[in-house]
Structure 1
Amino acid sequence: MKITVFGATGGIGTQLIRQGIARGHAMTAVARRPVELGCDVVVAELGDHEAIAGAVAGRDAVLSALGLRVAELQQRRRLEPSARSTVQADGARAQTEAMLATGVRRIVSVDAAGRVADDGDGLVTRIVAKPLLQRLLREGFEDLAEAEKILRASGLDWTLISPPRLTDGPRRPYRTVVGRNVRGGRTLSRADVADAMLRALEEPGWIRERVNVAY
């Protein structure tokens, strides 16, 4: 497949590039500055519609591992105290706009299991732990929720991959549940998030679904 990766310089993104190349895919990375990733790199900001469309055109799928680092948000707030994190929604908007313009239909994006409490969670997690986490990470979760709305409204063939707390551990067997959280799932490595995202491209039953992944 020909695949374009957004957020390619982050922990999940670099794993997507590395694992995608190992699987024989032709990978293209979108980055804000020139960087060596072992594949084609398109240098573009999310607001550069022409460059984003060029990065997406002719590809079979888009993978989005976008995320705003805490240090970046803190720096922005020093300059603009009211600044909020909108990178997920901005990314979804730019990606879907480019895909609709160029005829690319398949997109897989990272979400977060913590922002949704459902019957896949145990009672304590659903009633106590998740509400606390949602208060602590409210801004980031609101950004992810807006990104989900944009994907759902696009009419594209989207999948959300929703892990719990991320680690830098190695790949190992993990569980997947479509449409609800993984019972007792507390962690997942970035390497396995990338594996699940690439796997989603070969799972027709995951199209237009939120797929939860965890150990």
Structure 2
Amino acid sequence: MVRDPARLKLPARVVVAGLTDHEKLAAAVEGRDAVISAVGSRDRGPATVCVDGARAAIEAGAKRLLVVSAGGMHTEGDGFFTKTLVKPLLNTFLKHGWADMLAMEALVTATDLDWTIVRPPMLLDGPRTGKVASRLDGNVRTFTIRRADVAAYLLDAVAEPTLIRAKVSIAHG
């Protein structure tokens, strides 16, 4: 399901709907193994698109929910320089988007769904590399990952039982 079908570059059945199109969302979710929510704000102002997307998936009846968040707002596993200088600086510019993602994470973890929160670092364009490092106990110490690698990881994560009710950081491996 997409808001703008021109932005989806995959051969897939496309349902065009907004986050408040409850009937379309429920119909799209019905009978599906999982829902992956990879929405995000397009600007740096206050936003609720991530939490609204997760709420819409939950209300539509998702049983298995994977959401894309961000590794940048978390410091577990980071080195001293990153934790004390880089992340506070990034928070100055990305605080609204990160607040939305933190609210989404809180909403998702409060459910009884089979959820997975995936936390990539800075996203890059380009073809899939197939080289993804992951970590459950903190951030991977690499600062980028390609969107195509995140997408492939999400599809694989759907069927991975060790990732149910887990927060996993991923980055270029």
Residue pair 1:179, 1:209 contacting (<8 A) in 2 also? no
Q: Distance in 1 between matches of 2:4 and 2:86?
A: 38
| Identity of matched residues, % | 45
Q: Distance in 2 between matches of 1:111 and 1:97?
A: 19
Match of 2:28 among 26, 32, 55: 55
Post-superposition shift, 1:33? 5.0
Match of 1:94 among 56, 63, 68: 56
Q: Which residue of 2 aligns with 1:4?
A: none
Secondary structure in structure 1 of the residue aligned to 2:15: strand
1:137 aligns with 2:99: no
* CA RMSD, 1 decimal: 1.7
Range that drifts further, 35-44 or 56-65: 35-44
TM-score, normalization: structure 2?
0.90
Tell me, which stretches of 5 or more residues in structure 2 are unaligned?
none
Match of 1:204 among 140, 161, 166: 161
Task: Spell out the pairing of 1:28-177 with structure 2 (5 A cutoff).
Answer: 30-33=1-4, 38-70=11-43, 84-99=46-61, 104-118=62-76, 120-172=77-129, 173-177=131-135
Provide closer, same or farther for how the CA distance between residues 93 and 181 of structure 1 changes in structure 2, counting only shifts above 3 A.
same
Q: Distance in 1 between matches of 2:4 and 2:28?
A: 14
Residue pair 1:176, 1:211 contacting (<8 A) in 2 also? yes
Larger radius of gyration: 1
Post-superposition shift, 1:125? 0.5
Provide closer, same or farther for how the CA distance between residues 171 and 34 of structure 1 changes in structure 2, counting only shifts above 3 A.
closer
Paired letter, 2:23? E
Deviations 1:42-87 (A, max 9, x none): 22111111111111011111111111222xx7xxxxxxxxx72110
Residue pair 1:108, 1:161 contacting (<8 A) in 2 also? yes
